Each structure stands twice: as structure tokens, then as C-alpha cells.
Amino acid sequence: MRQISPAGIDLIIKFEGYHTKLPDGSCKAYLDRLAKPHVWTIGSGLTKGVHEGMILTREEHDLRFRQELASHERAVNRLVKVPIAQPHFDALVSFAYNCGNYALKRSTLLRKLNAKDYDGAEAQFARWNKAGGKVWRGLVRRRKEEAAIFAMGTMALFDDDAEDDPIGWVADAETMPQKVEESGQVTRTQVAAGAVAAAAPAGAAAMEATPPGTWEPFTTLAASMGAFASSSWQTVLAIASVCGALWLIGSIQSYRLSR
């Protein structure tokens, strides 16, 4: 299961703060009146099991903080159905920590993300800037930073060669029509060309053993077909066949002349 990074934790602490701090470093519960309904909160935005009058030492607070953070990590891991990079995850956990797992689950942000609309999901952060029906500067700043971190994730996901096309795009054949033959791979054209090279010496020997003018029609045909040899392996095979035929005819002609 993916976990939030130290940078992601720093982001949450930056905006959540540590309330209400007592002289010995512990913290005391307070009532968050902006939440609907109001909720008792302590330290860095902790709400689970918090009640009026609760006091936590710093060590107790930090342990509870990690436990609450884990619940949001599990939610993001469960709800996100597409590949994401670490900055994506950090931004989403910060969002869920602040707005709640249920808000993330029901959000257009998540719907767009799971539709692989990463840019559309990024734009949704800015909408979550209200508390108690009022726009708050702190929430505007938080959503802006979360969106910026989310954008870093998108850049990493698409630009990192190690990701090996995590989005699963399929190349359009019409945009990549050329066929690239890898070096070291023996192709059918190369095999046919080898056959031509092997037949050429025998054909030449047969031509030398026959009267002048015998081969003129064949050499003219071979020259014409040779002009197209580089464009088709079928043509190369045809030339090989012609050379073979030349050799056979030359052998027969030589045999007749020798009698």
C-alpha cells in the first residue's frame, strides 16, 4: 500500500498547525465551529475519538496523527483506480485529511481522475475553498498548493521513462506508418538478396560460355527489374529466379555447343 511522503506530511502540518498548544507542549481539544456539524478537534486537525476537555501529550498526539493519516492513505489507495505518482498521492491524502474521505469519494475531482483526466482533476482542487459557506484565504492557499503538487505528479507520470507508459495509450497506426527494421534482424529482403548474390557467379559463368547476343534480352529484363529491387522483397526473389533461369539456359546452351 502506498504511503504519504515526508513532504506530504509537511504539507498537512503546514496548514493544519498544532492547536491548542499548552506550555508543556501538549495540546487541548477545541470545538471546530466551521464544520457542519461542529466537531471537537485537537492538535493538527485530529477528530477521531476527540471530546471536550481532552488533552494529549506531544507523543500521544503524534501517534494519533499517524493513525488518522493511515486511514486517509487507505482511502486514497482504495478509491483511485488509475496510475498515479507520489505527488498525486500526497495531494490527495492532504485533501482527504482536510475535507474527509467521503468528500473525496463523492467528488468530481476523483471522478475526473479515474477517467484519466489528470488536468481536469487538478482544476477541481480550487473549488474546495469554503468553510461555513465562506471562502477562506487559508483554504484557497491550501488548495493552490495541493493542485501544484498534483501537477508535479502528472509531469512525473508522463515524463518519467521508468513509468513505461502507465496510462496505457495505444499508438495510432496512421500517425506511425513506417516500419522500422531493427539492426541485427535478418529480414526476408536480406534472405532474397543473399540468394541473388549466390546465383550471380553461376549466371555470369554461363553467359561467358555462350555466343554473343544470346543473353541480351535477359540482361535487359534483369536490369529493369533490378531498379525496383530495393522497394520489394518479392521483386528481389523474381530477380533470383531470373538469374537461376539464366544459369539453367546457359548450361543447356553450353551443353549443346559442346556436342
Active-site residue set: 16
Alpha carbon of 164 to those of 2, 9, 161: distances in Å? 19, 28, 6
Cell numbers of 10, please?
A: 509537511
- Nearest residue to 122 (alpha-carbon basis) of 134, 135, 109: 109
- Nearest residue to 25 (alpha-carbon basis) of 69, 65, 59: 59
- Taking a C-beta distance cutoff of 8 angstroms, is the pair 93, 79 a contact? no
Question: What is the separation, in whole angstroms, between the first and last Cα of the chain?
Answer: 89
Cell numbers of 181, please?
A: 527494421
Q: Is the peptide bond before 83 cis (omega within 30 degrees of 0)?
A: no
Helix-, strand-, coil-residue percentages of the chain, each rounded to 5: 60, 5, 30
C-alpha–C-alpha distance, residues 104 and 225, integer Å: 69
Reported for 172-177, long-range contacts at CB under 8 A and 24+ positions apart, including other chains, are none
- Taking a C-beta distance cutoff of 8 angstroms, is the pair 136, 129 a contact? yes
Helical (H) or strand (E) element with 118: helix 118-124
Axis-axis angle for helices 137-159, 6-16 (nearest 10)? 170
